[in-house]
Amino acid sequence: MISITLPDGSVRQYDKGITAMQIALSISEGLARNVLAAEVNGEVWDASRPIDEDSSVKLLTWNDPKGKATYWHSSAHLLAEALEALYPGTKFGIGPAIETGFYYDVDFGDKTLSSDDFKQIEDKMIELAKAKNEYIRKPVSKADAIAYFTEKDDEYKLDLIKDLPDGAITFYTQGNFTDLCRGPHIPNTGFVKAAKLMSLAGAYWRGDESRKQLTRIYGVTFPKASELTEYLHLIEEAKKRDHRKLGKELELFAFSEKVGMGLPLWLPKGTALRERLQNFLQKAQVKSGYEQVMTPHIGHKNLYITSGHYEKYGADSFQPIKTPQEGEEFLLKPMNCPHHCEIYKTKPRSYKDLPVRLAEFGTVYRYEQSGELHGLTRVRGFTQDDAHLFCRPDQVKEEFKKVIDLVLYVFKALGFNNYTAQVSLRDPENKTKYIGSDENWALAETAIIESAAEKGLTTVVELGEAAFYGPKLDFMVKDAIGRKWQLGTIQVDYNLPERFELEYTGSDNQKHRPVMIHRAPFGSMERFIAVLIEHCAGNFPLWLSPEQFIILPISEKYEDYAKKLSDELKDSDICGLIDFRDEKIGRKIRDAEVKKIPYMLIVGEKEAAEGQVSVRKHGQGDLGSMSIEEFKQQIIKEITV
Ligand SMILES: [Zn+2]
Ligand SMILES: [Zn+2]
């Protein structure tokens, strides 16, 4: 008999050679129907693989990321089986699972595949899936593996086998298709109920441009047809909300090849939006005892040698800027922290002065690979809503709680009601990887865990995910269509105070090192605004809207009245514009709807005569006539809510 420990800590006895599937069956048939694979002593295995020794076993289902990955990787085999059936002689590269779905790199020889072929392939996959063929694992010798793929004339598999040690090679067969694979896989193809091929791309074999370009086929599969429908709907919805598309339509930001890739240009409306966000956060920060500072966009190379950033990013980032003076070099600022450390050092600090909280909307530059750039979410220059808190070790918890409050305040104001937090701690088995004393780590880790619990956050704790210089707390938000984004972060740092020799005088009159906390509730202005655009589909809360109203005069005759209204609203800090175009009112309304302007104020003869406005709200329609004073009150009420 062997002992199997399940995730809930219970231990069950089974015969040696039991499989995860049999374990599932011994618990419930319903569970067994959903088991895709199992984690055995931390390694993902086929559910049908015999377990020969005492082990801890976690059964993996669709709801488990590792279960999903196994499912999608197995679907890549199914795609290959379908391709081989439809296009005999096809050669196969690799077919991994990706974040959503899978791909397979394929050499079709002379044939060029197009999306017109997708339907036929998808149908074939489902036909093969219905056969419920098992994925059968078979260890093979290197010689046999070479013989098999030589016979099949698949140079890609032969190239892969070349690097594998004899004795570690396995084949997996489902139906008529055999693949070289380490596994694991789902029990049988019958779990795949819906398949969709998404796109095609070229991919060099082994990522090497001097080698052959294969066709990469991206696909996704689901255990229920309804899940595919939902997924396709989500993609459509995401396309509509794409911040790159909306950013252009709403005239928020642009990119110019001439200025440089990944360097956003903020247009007037985008700038207005961004400034409102900054003012909002800055106001909250001032209330929480932060002091605003400003530092230059460049710094002496030595500054970043001291901070360690040069060693870490120097070679892969923007290269130093030289000056006419021999040997003098500056770097574009990759981080604001070193500058803030120097501000801390401008005067002696006592224990009574701490915490010192320095905040800056600081623009930093990092050289991202051109292929990695994506709208505002991956850029080469961005502005962090940065702040550094310099505190005593006994203040870490209190400061952490305050920062959590601030982050939650920001999320609430912007309608992110669904969030979780990840606590990243050090790996207790590998303490030498980290800088800072055991005592301080214990203090900071407890502070984070306790603050998160006291603030009622839903957290996951990840061991070994801390930075080498300190533990951290990261916030993930779920947007309106269920996608997860990492936003704000709070990070404890023992490293920089050491490197910059920061000090304060304690109550004992001795010198002590402060602890530094880095924090950014938005993360960066660029990324946050991108996420916000996609979350609210461009319908910003009224207080953030760069244009809160548009006045639509029915004809030229009412322009003076329109101007008078506009001035009156602007005096109350309500901003907007007038549509002076010589267009029909219906057209003006449609255009204002497209621009997602929250309020449309229609003025004609009746309104001008009675000193009223006819109000329409974006997405809601007609709100009727009201006086300008009533309208103002409505807006002010909405903004303050
Ligand atoms: Zn496989
Ligand atoms: Zn920092």
CATH of the domain at 123: 3.30.980.10
Q: What is the number of the ligand closest to the CA of 492?
A: 2
Q: Please give the C-alpha separations between residue 170 and each of 42, 403, 425, in angstroms, as whole numbers.
A: 20, 51, 37
| 175 vs 639: CA distance, rounded Å | 63
Q: Which tokens sit at 48?
A: 């049908």
From its phi and psi, is residue 388 left (phi > 0), alpha (psi between -120 and 50) or beta? beta
CA torsion angle 536 540 543 547 (round to 10): 180
Instruction: Indicate whether 217 and 270 sit together in one domain.
Output: no
Instruction: Indicate whether 156 and 17 sit together in one domain.
Output: no
Instruction: Indicate whether 519 and 561 sit together in one domain.
Output: no
Q: pLDDT tens digits for 581-637? A: 999 999 999 999 988 999 999 999 999 999 899 999 998 899 999 999 999 998 988
Query: Would the pTM count as exceeding 0.85?
Result: no
* Of 65-74, 277-286, 352-361, 462-471, the least confident: 462-471
Q: What is the number of the ligand closest to the CA of 389?
A: 2
Crossing angle of the two packed helices 525-536 and 225-241, in degrees rounded to 10: 120
Instruction: Indicate whether 515 and 595 sit together in one domain.
Output: no
Residue 310 lies in a domain: no
221 CA distance to ligand 1 centroid (A)?
Answer: 15
Exposure string for 67-106, b = 16+ CB within 10 A, e = fewer: bbbbbbbbbbbbbbbbbbbeeeebbbbbbebeeebbbbbb
Instruction: Indicate whether 427 and 514 sit together in one domain.
Output: yes
Residue 609 lies in a domain: yes
Q: pLDDT tens digits for 204-223? A: 999 999 999 999 999 999 99
387 CA distance to ligand 2 centroid (A)?
Answer: 7
Residue 367 lies in a domain: yes
Q: What is the CATH number of the domain that holds 48?
A: 3.10.20.30
Domain count for the chain = 4
Range of the domain at 138: 66-231
Q: Is 388 annotated as a binding residue?
A: yes
| 635 vs 641: CA distance, rounded Å | 10
Of 485, 516, 536, the last residue of a domain is 536
386 CA distance to ligand 2 centroid (A)?
Answer: 7
Residue 517 lies in a domain: yes
Q: Is 518 annotated as a binding residue?
A: yes
Does the N-terminal peptide bond of residue 541 adopt cis geometry, omega within 30 degrees of 0?
no
Q: Residue 483: its pLDDT value, please?
A: 87
Q: pLDDT-derived band of residue 177, with 50, 70 and 90 as boundaries?
A: very high
Instruction: Indicate whether 181 and 270 sit together in one domain.
Output: no
Using DSSP bridges, classify how beta strands 194-204 and 213-222 pair: parallel, antiparallel or unpaired. Answer: antiparallel
In the block, residue with structure tokens 């009601």: 417
164 CA distance to ligand 1 centroid (A)?
Answer: 15
| 553 vs 345: CA distance, rounded Å | 59
Instruction: Indicate whether 11 and 108 sit together in one domain.
Output: no
Instruction: Indicate whether 493 and 593 sit together in one domain.
Output: no
Q: What is the number of the ligand closest to the CA of 71?
A: 1
74 CA distance to ligand 1 centroid (A)?
Answer: 6
Residue 91 lies in a domain: yes
Instruction: Indicate whether 122 and 23 sit together in one domain.
Output: no
453 CA distance to ligand 2 centroid (A)?
Answer: 25
Of 536, 569, 593, the last residue of a domain is 536
- Catalytically active residues, by annotation: 337, 366, 384, 386, 388, 472, 518
Of 31, 61, 91, the last residue of a domain is 61
Using DSSP bridges, classify how beta strands 419-425 and 459-463 pair: parallel, antiparallel or unpaired. Answer: parallel
Q: What is the number of the ligand closest to the CA of 160?
A: 1
Contact 360, 381 (CB under 8 A): no
Instruction: Indicate whether 579 and 629 sit together in one domain.
Output: yes
Q: Residue 534: its pLDDT value, please?
A: 94
> To the nearest whole number, what is the mean pLDDT of the chain?
93
Residue 301 lies in a domain: no
Instruction: Indicate whether 210 and 356 sit together in one domain.
Output: no
Contact 21, 32 (CB under 8 A): yes
| 520 vs 278: CA distance, rounded Å | 12
Residue 305 lies in a domain: no
Length of the chain: 641
Residue 168 lies in a domain: yes
Instruction: Indicate whether 376 and 276 sit together in one domain.
Output: yes
